[in-house]
Amino acid sequence: MYKLRATIWKDIIILVRDRVGLIFMFAMPIILAIVITATQNSTFELVNNNKINLLLCNRDTGTAATEFAKGIKDAGMFKISEADKKIDVASLKLLMDKHDALVTIEIPADFSDKLKIHANATAEKALKDFGVEPDTLTTATDSLPPVNMLYNPVLQSSFRQSIQGALQSVLQMVQTKQILQSLYAGLNNSPMPDSLQQELGAARSVIREIPVSKTGKAVIPNATQHNIPAWTIFAMFFVVISLGSSLVREKNSGSFLRLKTLPTNYSMALISKQFTYLCVTLLQAAVIFLLGIYLFPHIGLPALSIPSNIAGLFLITISCGICAVSFAVCIGIFAQTQEQANGMGAVSVVLLAALGGLLVPAFAMPQSFKYLIRLSPLHWGLEAYYSLFLEGGTLKHIVLNLLPLWAITILLQLIAFAGLKKKNLV
């Protein structure tokens, strides 16, 4: 036992005196967690709380176009600047720059007329189906008039889609109203009263967001709840840089030659290193979680809400830590040089993180990647954390996610042992 204690003590001293290694293991993941949470949080706020600069050019003077423009203003998502209706497209683009607008909506001059014709045609078809013969028959145009959305190329696809969604919703309301007016006029030979128009416009269902948790307790997801577990796992696996290169350094140094001449099996050194670095991973998790709880609220980010199941949290963290050091040992045993260990370690962790859903959610991955995702230990660690942090999962839910992680850990240990055996080190 003294041998093991002495070996662990030696590893701790070497680790503590390696300032650069410590920066890699602690400062870098902390910075990553803060920066990415802040970025995602501001993205969330941009879409949900902040207003997007929008330039509106309404070339039409008709009622539908006016209602559409009003609908965009009422949507509450945009800060609107209006452009002169006679301005050409080239000038419109220049004006976008001037107003710092990411999007311009151009309503064509015949928008209201064409929409009305289309609505009348639709209403007449419907009345015919009901057996009511309308007084006049309208020749419908082929399609609805297009509304142009000019956008700055820096606007990402997800943003464009949410802007489009909002605009489509307003447009749909205007069109529906127009069709209803035509139907009313066709049936009653008189325009729809204002009171009814208002009543129809107001009759909208509200969508309530209800997060579904496994225990029934409501957990409000936010950027912190999503990012802290993800970047904690990433940090843990990033010990590959320090542990992997420490193993290679020892293998390639004279001290290793001496160790081989002493009456102690090299597996003692491996057990010691794994224990030392497991403590490092637990410390990393503790530091990042504490930052999430205490620092984040002071820098304008949502505070981390620690789940009540502390035993589950510890089980996930220690399982991820053991898997991370097993992975690092594998890299360290098979790498020939420190450069190889650093390169292979860093690249493979980033790849496993990408596959594991740390960079892009796993559900958003292409179908062909679905099987590859399961090979990433980071994926199972993240799923286990999410089941606890976001879904309020019980021990059973956690264990179900941890089983594949444990299987990967055992596999990594076996591979490492085979590597040691092949190299005559144990």
Partner 1 sequence: MKDAISISNLRFSYPGLPEPVFENLNLVIKKGSRFGIFGPNGAGKTTLIGCITGLIKYQSGSILLNGLEVVKNLQHIKKQFGYVPQDFSLYPELTPMENLMFFASWAGLNKSLSKKRALEVLEILGLSGVKNKQVKKFSGGMKRRVNLAIGVIHQPEILFLDEPTVGVDIHSRQAIISYLKKLNSEGTTLVYTSHQLSEAEELCDDVALFDEGKIRVHDSLPNLLKQHRHDGLEGLFLELTGKKFRDS
Binding site for partner 1 (CB under 8 A): 2-3, 6-7, 9-10, 13-14, 17-18, 253-255, 257-264, 268, 424
Give SS3 for 59. coil
Which of 220-233 are b and which e, b meaning 16 or more Cβ less than 10 Å from the residue's Cβ?
ebbbbbbbbbbbbb
Least distance between partner 1 and beta carbon 262 (Å): 4
Nearer to partner 1, 253 or 336 (CB): 253
Nearer to partner 1, 13 or 23 (CB): 13
Q: Which residues contact 32 (CB under 8 A, 6 or more apart)?
A: 231, 234, 235
Nearer to partner 1, 3 or 421 (CB): 3
Contact 331, 341 (CB under 8 A): yes
**HSE-up (13 A, CA, CB side) for residue 49:** 5
What type of residue sits at position 370?
K
Least distance between partner 1 and beta carbon 255 (Å): 5
Contact 54, 101 (CB under 8 A): yes
Token digits of residue 245: 């290169």
Least distance between partner 1 and beta carbon 327 (Å): 24
Least distance between partner 1 and beta carbon 14 (Å): 5
Least distance between partner 1 and beta carbon 7 (Å): 7
Nearer to partner 1, 188 or 255 (CB): 255
Rounded CA gap, 356 and 359, in Å?
Answer: 8
Nearer to partner 1, 273 or 379 (CB): 273
Q: Which residues contact 121 (CB under 8 A, 6 or more apart)?
A: 138, 139, 140, 141
Least distance between partner 1 and beta carbon 236 (Å): 24
Nearer to partner 1, 2 or 371 (CB): 2
Token digits of residue 45: 């706020």
**HSE-up (13 A, CA, CB side) for residue 369:** 16
